[in-house]
Structure 1
Amino acid sequence: MPVAVVIDQPVADFQAQATSGVSVSLAALRGQQVLIYFYPKDSTPGCTTEGQGFRDRYADFQAANTLIFGVSRDSLKSHENFKCKQAFPFELISDKDEALCQLFDVIKLKKLYGKEYLGVDRSTFLIDKDGVLRQEWRGVKVPGHVDATLAAAQALHKD
């Protein structure tokens, strides 16, 4: 199992299945910046709002040579429905086996109504065109997050 990601270090290559029948490999994305955002569950209020924010600024991310991928443990079928309903122009990766969640260390102990469970900690990672992790946001609050990640992507693209 690869070691969890570290800022300013290369991210281990991975293979993952995404919507639209796409197979995502970090090695195949070299030359482009990659923004990977982890979210808890398709079609829930916070996750929908966050995805809509990335959707609405998608052209700005493209202008900064940045691909966006959303990741959760939901099935590809659930992802396809969510992507279609929200008209997301980017792919959603299904991480049912939690391989990416483990690589990016986003599974955390959470509490809901007094019950503890292991869930996905809303987190975002910006990887440069050489496959090096340049920035991470953990424990993300949705308001203002898309703008913060876009500013970082634009600054990195200028370097």
Structure 2
Amino acid sequence: MSVEIGQPVADFSATATGNTSVTLSELRGKQVVIYFYPKASTPGCTTEGGDFRDRKPAFDAANTVILGVSRDGLRAQENFKAKQDFNFDLISDKDENVCTLFDVIKLKKMYGKEHLGIERSTFLIDKEGKLAQEWRGVKVPGHADEVLAAAEKLNAAS
């Protein structure tokens, strides 16, 4: 059972950077962008995270929290966040609970071998905790701008 547009997203709690835990229901009243990336400190994921970092003031103005999620351990996430100066938290989803909720674990091919990995995906959740928009199979260039535009439009409408 994965998330559907217009439907409430099931509540979850997950371990995040900064010695914190993120609980979706505690973010009600704010919009939430959750973006899933394959692996910390890889080129595409670094670029994507940087794009969200650089736009965080605009996301803040649109009443929107940014959360990055991968299957990396907490230490890798902390290092990635510190090295890239990310101004938002990263969730360590080693047990894949959050990935499973959003159905982002897909069969991927790399160097001719198949493996299960995270399909780069982003989800925009409204202030009531319902899924407002989703992007799957994301290409990094221009993506953060597209998500920001959607967050601003959703915030203006509510």
Could you say which TM-score interval applies, normalised by the shorter chain?
A: over 0.9
Q: TM-score, normalised by structure 1?
A: 0.98
Aligned residue for 2:52, secondary structure, equals helix
Amino acid across the alignment from 1:119: G
Structure 1 match to 2:71: 73
Q: Spell out, residue by residue over 1:76-132, the C-alpha distance to the aligned partner (whole angstroms, 9 max, x if none).
A: 100000000000000000000000110000000000110000000000000000000
Q: How many residue pairs end up in the alignment?
A: 157
Unaligned runs of 5+ in 2: none
Q: Distance in 2 between matches of 1:44 and 1:23?
A: 24
Amino acid across the alignment from 1:128: D
Residue identity over aligned pairs, in percent, reads: 69
Structure 1 match to 2:141: 143
Q: Does 1:128 align with 2:130?
A: no
Q: Distance in 1 between matches of 2:34 and 2:19?
A: 18
The equivalences for 1:78-97 within 5 A come to 78-97=76-95
Q: TM-score, normalised by structure 2?
A: 0.99
Structure 1 match to 2:101: 103
Find runs of 4+ consecutive structure 1 residues off by over 2 angstroms: none
Amino acid across the alignment from 1:52: G
Unaligned runs of 5+ in 1: none
Query: 1:22 deviation in Å?
Result: 1.2
Query: 1:21 deviation in Å?
Result: 1.0
Q: Distance in 2 between matches of 1:82 and 1:26?
A: 23
